[in-house]
């Protein structure tokens, strides 16, 4: 019954949003699609995972106040929506400068990722030893046993900004070879850590960019045309997950036992956020009262500022997500509730919806700064069933630095040397 209530509620919110939008793929629409697909898949694939009415309440409330925020912006700018369709035009020099900036940032992040990978090789002694380290890599990384240079970490912070810029370029001008470079940075860093989150985020970024590419080309029925890349991406995501798990646990045999083990881990990663949030509501939420004011929503930022040390994976607390399995992922909702409470969560949703609609409107009118911000908002919503992307400093930096670089690309800087006359 919980599944039906959530799906029906999200469907109504989606329909309401479409009444003042040209496409179902608005920010609200993407959030509703992601969560509807997730809970449907969980119902059929992992029905043993916990899912409560209380979790439905918070998810629906977030979506509803997000919609209200979008609607308030629409009503306050209704005349502009109806009468003004101002397109933003860019000079060819802008395109050249944006490409150059993207290449510089991409190569910087790539070099940083290579030095980052070298730190792991130095720690284990050789590439061969690294390949057989498996899950020990994650343990050594979180315990601080691997000496990683600060320069490589700072350079890697540019990885999501580089991808953001490359994809913004793609939405306007199509594919170009240089757009591949920043993806190698994330691939290398993910391989170094035996991690999968970075790769999932990258795929979500590509999805978001594809939406605005189709809108930019003035395609019709973009929802149907978006199904094809989704069908391609699902097996890619599953393949990446299986490869990472085989590498972590050093089990490359394909048999019934290994497939069952990997499938269980896949279910935890995919549905653990929803089930973990349900367990948190029933086991912990009622007994906790103190707010933590951003400690978990912005965990890495708080860590780098020295406010609170970040825990591995945001939370080091594992709760039951099914009768036989535990996890430490809780979607975006546990951090929001613990940091800001219910009132703070719906205020966050409202203002995020208001800002999202402003950015979405600008983005569909070819503002590349808005497209950069829209991609960030979309991947935040797409990743919401796992964790808040605001926990990553590289994501926060991309939200600020991407638009700044696009703005700088509008200007040509010249340096003149002065000569002294005798």
| pLDDT (0 to 100) of residue 250 | 78
In this prediction, residue 220 has a pLDDT band, given cuts at 50, 70 and 90, of confident
What residues contact residue 148 under an 8 Å CB cut-off, 6+ apart?
116, 119
In this prediction, residue 91 has a pLDDT band, given cuts at 50, 70 and 90, of low
Model confidence pLDDT, tens digit, residues 350-384: 999 999 999 999 998 889 999 999 999 999 999 99
Burial of 300 (0-12, 13-18, 19+ CB in 10 A): middle
Name the average pLDDT for the chain. Answer: 88
Share of the chain above pLDDT 70, in %: 93
Question: Region 312-329: what's the mean pLDDT?
Answer: 87
Owning domain of residue 286: 2-408
Taking alpha carbons only, the member of 146, 170, 157 closest to residue 111 is 157
Residues 63 and 32: beta-carbon distance below 8 Å: yes
Helices 92-124 & 181-193 angle (0-180, nearest 10): 20
Res 417 pLDDT > 50: no
Q: What residues form DSSP beta bridges with 325?
A: 322
Model confidence pLDDT, tens digit, residues 155-214: 999 999 999 999 999 999 999 999 999 999 999 999 898 888 888 999 999 999 999 999
H or E segment at 325?
A: strand 325-327
Report which DSSP code applies to 254: -
Res 83 pLDDT > 90: no
Model confidence pLDDT, tens digit, residues 6-29: 999 999 999 999 888 888 899 999
Distances (CA, A) of 31 to 27, 358, 376: 6, 17, 13
Q: How far is CA 104 from the centre of its chain?
A: 23
| pLDDT (0 to 100) of residue 131 | 87
Evaluate whether residue 420 is within a structural domain: no
Question: Region 307-330: what's the mean pLDDT?
Answer: 86
Res 421 pLDDT > 50: no
Q: Residue 123: helix, strand or coil by DSSP?
A: helix
| pLDDT (0 to 100) of residue 108 | 96
Q: What residues form DSSP beta bridges with 311?
A: 314
Greatest CA separation for the chain: 89
| pLDDT (0 to 100) of residue 414 | 53
Evaluate whether residue 33 is within a structural domain: yes
Evaluate whether residue 200 is within a structural domain: yes
In degrees, rounded to 5, the angle at the alpha carbon of residue 206 between the alpha carbons of residues 329 and 332 is 20
| pLDDT (0 to 100) of residue 8 | 96
Res 136 pLDDT > 70: yes
Question: Region 261-278: what's the mean pLDDT?
Answer: 91
Evaluate whether residue 422 is within a structural domain: no
DSSP codes joined into one string, 349-382: HHHHHHHHHHHHHHHTTT-HHHHHHHHHHHHHHH
Evaluate whether residue 232 is within a structural domain: yes
Res 416 pLDDT > 70: no
H or E segment at 69?
A: helix 53-76
Taking alpha carbons only, the member of 377, 300, 302, 295 closest to residue 336 is 295
- What backbone phi and psi angles, to 5 degrees, belong to 81? -65, -40
| Separation between Cα atoms, residue 381 and residue 71, nearest integer Å | 18
In this prediction, residue 413 has a pLDDT band, given cuts at 50, 70 and 90, of low
| pLDDT (0 to 100) of residue 86 | 52
Evaluate whether residue 415 is within a structural domain: no
DSSP codes joined into one string, 259-311: HHHHHHHHHHHHHHHHHHHHHHHHHTGGG-----TTTTTTHHHHHHTTSSPPB
Res 268 pLDDT > 70: yes
Lowest-pLDDT range of 138-147, 275-284, 296-305 = 138-147
Share of the chain above pLDDT 90, in %: 60
Q: Residue 226: helix, strand or coil by DSSP?
A: coil
Taking alpha carbons only, the member of 241, 157, 252 closest to residue 195 is 241
The number of domains in the chain is 1
Evaluate whether residue 231 is within a structural domain: yes
In this prediction, residue 422 has a pLDDT band, given cuts at 50, 70 and 90, of very low
H or E segment at 65?
A: helix 53-76
Of 131-140, 243-252, 276-285, highest mean pLDDT:
276-285
Question: Region 398-413: what's the mean pLDDT?
Answer: 89
Evaluate whether residue 121 is within a structural domain: yes
């Amino acid at each position: 019954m919980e599944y039906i209530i959530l799906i029906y509620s999200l469907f109504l919110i989606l329909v309401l949003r479409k009444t003042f939008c040209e496409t179902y793929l608005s920010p609200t629409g993407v959030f509703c699609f992601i969560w509807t697909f997730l809970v449907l898949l969980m119902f059929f694939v992992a029905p043993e995972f916990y899912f409560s009415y209380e979790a439905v309440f918070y998810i629906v409330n977030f979506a509803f106040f997000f919609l209200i925020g979008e609607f308030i912006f629409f009503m306050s700018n209704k005349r502009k929506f109806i009468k003004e369709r101002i397109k933003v035009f860019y000079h060819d020099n802008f395109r050249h400068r944006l490409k150059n900036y993207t290449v510089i940032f991409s190569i910087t992040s790539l070099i940083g990722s290579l030095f980052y990978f070298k730190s792991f090789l130095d720690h284990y002694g050789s590439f061969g030893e690294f390949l057989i380290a498996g899950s020990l890599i994650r343990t050594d990384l979180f315990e601080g046993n691997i000496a990683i240079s600060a320069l490589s970490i700072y350079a890697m912070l540019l990885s999501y900004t580089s991808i953001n810029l490359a994809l913004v370029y793609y939405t306007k001008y199509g594919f170009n070879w240089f757009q591949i470079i920043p993806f190698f940075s994330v691939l290398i860093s993910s391989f170094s850590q035996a991690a999968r989150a970075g790769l999932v985020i990258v795929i979500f970024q590509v999805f978001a960019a594809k939406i605005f590419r189709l809108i930019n080309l003035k395609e019709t029925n973009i929802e149907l045309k978006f199904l094809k890349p989704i069908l391609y991406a699902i097996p890619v995501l599953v393949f990446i997950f299986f490869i990472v798990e085989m590498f972590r646990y050093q089990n490359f045999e394909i048999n019934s036992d290994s497939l069952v083990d990997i499938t269980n881990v896949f279910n935890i990663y995919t549905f653990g956020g929803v089930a973990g949030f349900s367990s948190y509501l029933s086991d912990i939420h009622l007994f906790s009262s103190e707010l933590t004011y951003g400690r978990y929503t912005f965990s890495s930022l708080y860590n780098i500022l020295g406010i609170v040390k970040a825990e591995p994976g945001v939370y080091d607390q594992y709760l039951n997500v099914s009768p036989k399995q535990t996890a430490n992922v809780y979607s975006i909702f546990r951090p929001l509730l613990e940091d800001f409470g219910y009132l703070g969560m719906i205020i966050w949703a409202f203002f995020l919806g208001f800002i999202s609609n402003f950015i979405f409107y600008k983005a569909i009118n070819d503002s590349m700064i808005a497209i950069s911000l829209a991609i960030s908002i979309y991947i935040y919503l797409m990743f919401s069933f796992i964790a808040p992307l605001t926990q990553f400093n590289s994501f926060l930096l991309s939200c600020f630095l991407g638009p700044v670089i696009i703005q700088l690309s509008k200007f040509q800087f010249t340096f003149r040397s002065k000569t002294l006359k005798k």
